Amino acid sequence: MINKDETGKIIKQYQRYLKFEKSLSPNTLDAYLTDLDKLMSFLTLEGIAIKDITLDNLQQFVAGLHDIGIHARSQARIISGIKSFFNFLILTDYLEADPSELLEGPKIGFKLPEILTIEEIDAIISAIDLSKNEGQRNKAILETLYSCGLRVSELTNLKLSELYLDEGFIKVEGKGSKQRLVPISPKAINEIKLYILDRNQVTAKKDFEDYLFLSRRGTNLSRIMIFHMIKELATTAGIKKNISPHTFRHSFATHLLEGGANLRAIQSMLGHETIATTEIYTHIDRNMLRSEIIEHHPRNIKYRRNNAPENEQ
């Protein structure tokens, strides 16, 4: 027999545990409780008390999630929340044995992101028609994407006031409005400076004066525009891979890592939320970040070689 008052009391205790002991954010806390509510609804329908639940019951619950079309990743998240709940019940001595201990999640395939070789990136950039008005702009876009490892949204929102080209950095606003300084390579700086000469011929519309990359209409570019531009250039270059703007970001990180760059520096430059903590930004010197990208990025190695004095070549 289900005791609703007892169940409600347990869930309130669990909520306090997540909030104060686990220090979960409000959104994460809501997600845990929403997923737990799915299990509670199942138990109510089946007439099963929390103390009486078995592994078979939990497996039946998970099978039901699959049957109603819940995605495998969502199933895995729900199962993770269930395990957290039963772990709490063990910690508080409400249960002696954990029925979720042997509960397995769905198999989630891991697909490695598509990566471009340096030669393929060269081929795509070489496919740009520089005789067109947007040619130099598109070249600057691709060099910036690849040289800085930006998300496409970060690129389209890049402002002139956020360029510190003399210092070799750009300021980027990433997910959650978190800002970071990203080293920018001499090659990308050169292409941006060439593009700005063309940009000065475009009349920016009101509220778009500070955007770096402008459309013909004088507004900032959309992510879809960048996506289509890259797709068309890849087709022209004969690249068969299924690529997107994010492919340049993956390639940036892979090529730096293969070149021997510090992994923690790469993660910070990418602005990954899971590691972009205050502690990391405190302990990684910005000059070190810049030296990592300048020394190890293949674009910069080639640029240095091509622009070295004759007696050094």
Q: Tell me which of 12, 22, 73, 175 is the catalytic residue.
A: 175
Q: Tell me which of 137, 151, 199, 255 is the catalytic residue.
A: 151
Q: Tell me which of 137, 139, 199, 249 is the catalytic residue.
A: 249
Phi, psi of 216 (to 5 degrees): -60, -25
264 tagged catalytic: no
C-alpha dihedral sign at 213, 217, 220, 224: negative
Helices within the chain (DSSP H only): 4-16, 26-46, 55-67, 72-91, 118-126, 135-148, 152-156, 186-199, 223-236, 245-258, 263-270, 278-283, 286-296, 298-307
Tokens at 248, concatenated:
């340049």
Work out the number of other CB atoms within 10 angstroms of the CB of residue 22: 12
Q: Tell me which of 246, 264, 286, 304 is the catalytic residue.
A: 246
272 tagged catalytic: yes
List Cα–Cα distances, 124 to 47, 182, 224, 241, 305, in angstroms: 62, 24, 18, 12, 21
Q: Tell me which of 17, 264, 281, 304 is the catalytic residue.
A: 281
246 tagged catalytic: yes
159 tagged catalytic: no
151 tagged catalytic: yes
Q: Tell me which of 38, 83, 223, 272 is the catalytic residue.
A: 272
Give the residue numbers annotated as catalytic, written as ranges.
151, 175, 246, 249, 272, 281
